[in-house]
Amino acid sequence: MMRQETEDNYTLLYNIHGLIGYIKGYMRRFWQASEDHRGVPGKPGRVVTILPSSDPEAEVWGVAYEIAAEDEEFVTKQLDIREKNGYNKVTDKFYPSDPENNKLGKHFHDCSKCSQLPHEPFDLVIYVGTEDNEYFAGAADIESIAQQIVGSVGPSGTNIEYLYKLASAMRLLAPGVQDEHLFALEEAVRHLENQVLT
Q: Which residues are catalytic?
A: 83
Q: Do strands 122-129 and 87-96 pair parallel, antiparallel, or not at all (unpaired)?
A: antiparallel
Rounded to whole angstroms, what are the CA distances from 40 to 8, 34, 35, 155, 157? 21, 7, 4, 8, 11
**Is the distance from CB of 24 to CB of 58 less than 8 angstroms?**
yes
